[in-house]
Structure 1
């Protein structure tokens, strides 16, 4: 999930690592299952779950903001044990053969510093680099005119951040996010993943959109299946726990079966709901309405956590997102994805208190 307008986009709707309270256990690819390549030093399967919140950046200096220490303390106070950072490069057109930094790309120095601050605050870190397009264009539409050139550029981009992840001791890394237009190229992605493993030894995932994950054929080269879990849960705005539970029940059944087939646990690399009326009908939208609906957001948080709690194949969730940076928010906080200061934050505190 990235932001609307110049700094953000709305995720398009198409048709329709692992951590204990004080520690981390990661699933190595194929260990215990006989599937996939692995590194001998990587731990075997775990059963703990990520409790995470994303702190994205929209400007090169965001992660050096005076607000950063306060935000990290606020994330930690929810009971979260992980934070995700999202340095972002851009390309102007969906057909471009490369990506580049802009003034909206977090500086490398600021990323290194905020990882250090997160660790000092008692949080584990996932670095999840993004590639975005201008305005409301969806990164899933990226289809470069020269795929070989694009993937060569992408390997340079992603291994740059793999080096930062290794150098800062980040506990997990995502090799890509919601790139449905190119994620079908299994051979190219396998080469990307191999290149990343040459730079970084920790657990790897890819963050597929909820309507993309079944089309990915390189999961066994990774440690976790990552899904950005923006499934619509209702046709009309609702706070009804029974209705939300029924919606998740059918999704949960499919995910459990998929996890078993792939011999990988599933991490919700993103999940979130704006505090707007109708957020359960379109969780991927920043602008589903102009009417605040804190109760609907809180009900959606509660339903997701209740629905997946205790499922051993489920590796946890990293919520999208904490507070926006001062001066950068294009959605008022009272309507935005942040749970901070809303009933949804109290849901997290209750569920994550133990």
Structure 2
């Protein structure tokens, strides 16, 4: 198991001028940024190569890809592709491009609902049928991950309405392992991870780390670091209890006033606050880098695709061209080589 856990974060040890990215035992941490897709051909966009180069220039060593299937109602018994689902061919091509640039890849398939409905509310009327459909969905991406040499796969994302069905998830994980030999995680929401009971079937604990850190807007990293302390202690204890490292499968902040009060929200404010976003990036990396039990972070997210963003870039989650990107470059160091 130690070898597997090392494989999860191998190749991410390059350091720049900032803090080291390894724990005291020498295990590396994952330095990643998510490149989501919102449409069938997003990953084939002419912007793709520019985005990948921009991600690598931050010092990132991983990208996360998020092909998404949909179900119409929370009670549906299955999920399906739509025009908003990244095509398999486009996922293959962008994985190949990422590898050519020396980036490692995590595929993190999502199941979503129409509009602004939260996937955590999915509660199928026929759970047996839903899990049968979900296993087909996941093994499809397990095959794609194996074929593309993808270095890590997530078996689910923020499915709190069904993540308590432990036996069903154990079956999901077992079937995925028949198709894919790499490390597996599950991306639990920050208020969900303690209710997940199948962590020991996986290789690393995944948490989407959207904890509110302040009651009022702040650009003070020290204040945010203090807010992280009890959370960090809780996560360290949980990692020891489970015998697994903790990966922040997502973490991010909009560049809006009040972003740290509700990191999970795209619409905290209509006032740009890039300094608050940067302070939040700095506080998270200061708080967790070098902890032996911490496996790293995949930031949400890089740029929206041209003409697809619903949130203006100056207010969005992207750190690109903002002080938060400078924090990444400082903490992670510039791209050096391919590993």
Q: Name 2:78's counterpart in structure 1.
A: 98
Q: Does the CA contact (< 8 Å) of 1:203 and 1:223 recur in 2?
A: yes
What is the CA–CA distance in structure 2 between the aligned matches of 1:20 and 1:62, rounded to whole Å? 27
1:117 is matched with which residue? Answer: 97
1:46/1:196 CA distance change after superposition, 3 Å: farther
User: Tell me, what secondary structure is at the counterpart of 1:255?
Assistant: helix
What TM-score, normalized by structure 2, do the two folds share? Answer: 0.92
- In 1, are the aligned partners of 2:154 and 2:186 still within 8 Å (CA)? yes
Aligned: 1:280 with 2:260:
yes
Asked which structure has the greater RCO (Cα within 8 Å, sep 6+), the reply is 2
Alignment of 1:314-333 (within 5 A): 314-333=294-313
Q: Secondary structure at the match of 1:280?
A: helix
The CA deviation at 1:242 is 2.0
Hey, what does 2:44 align to over in structure 1? 64
Deviations 1:193-250 (A, max 9, x none): 0000000000000000000000000000000000000000000000112210110001
**More helix as a share of residues:** 2
Tell me the number of residue pairs that the alignment of Structure 1 and Structure 2 aligns.
Answer: 317
Structure 2: distance between partners of 1:172 and 1:22: 17
- Alignment equivalent of 2:12, drawn from 12, 21, 41: 21
For 2:220 and 2:95, locate their aligned partners in 1 and report how far apart those are by CA, in whole Å.
38
SS of residue matched to 1:63: helix
Tell me the equivalent position of 2:271.
291
Q: Structure 2: state its 5+ residue gaps.
A: 1-7, 15-24, 335-339
- Indicate whether 1:157 and 2:148 are aligned: no
CA–CA distance in 2 between the matches of 1:316 and 1:21? 10
Residues 127-171 of structure 1: CA distance to partner in whole angstroms, max 9, x if unpaired? 000000000000000000000000000000000000000000000
Q: Which runs of 5+ in 1 are unaligned?
A: 1-16, 24-44
Measure how far apart 1:46 and its partner are.
Answer: 7.1
Q: Where has structure 1 moved over 2 Å in runs of 4 or more?
A: 19-23
- Quote how far apart the aligned CAs of 1:21 are: 3.3
Pairing of 1:158-173 with structure 2 (within 5 A): 158-173=138-153
Partner Cα distance (1:170, 1:193) in 2:
17
User: Residues 1-354 of structure 1: matches in 2 within 5 Å?
Assistant: 17-21=8-12, 47-353=27-333
Q: Are the equivalent residues in 2 in contact too, given 1:79–1:352 (CA < 8 A)? A: yes
Contact 1:47/1:313 (CA < 8 Å) preserved in 2? no
How far, CA to CA, are the matches of 2:12 and 2:241 in structure 1? Answer: 28
Distance in 2, matches of 1:19 and 1:345, equals 23
Cα deviation for residue 20 of structure 1 reads 4.1
Superposed CA RMSD:
1.1
Q: Are 2:13 and 2:29, in contact at CA under 8 Å, matched by a contact in 1?
A: no
SS of 2:314's partner is coil
Q: Distance in 2 between matches of 1:222 and 1:237?
A: 37
Equivalents in 2 of 1:269, 1:46: separation in Å?
21
Alpha carbons 1:233, 1:248 under 8 Å: kept: yes
Offset, 1:87: 0.1
Equivalent residue number for residue 40 of structure 1: none
Q: Distance in 1 between matches of 2:33 and 2:150?
A: 15
With the length of structure 1 as denominator, give the TM-score of the two structures: 0.88
Tell me by how many angstroms 1:314 deviates: 0.1
CA contact (8 A) 2:65 2:108 kept: yes
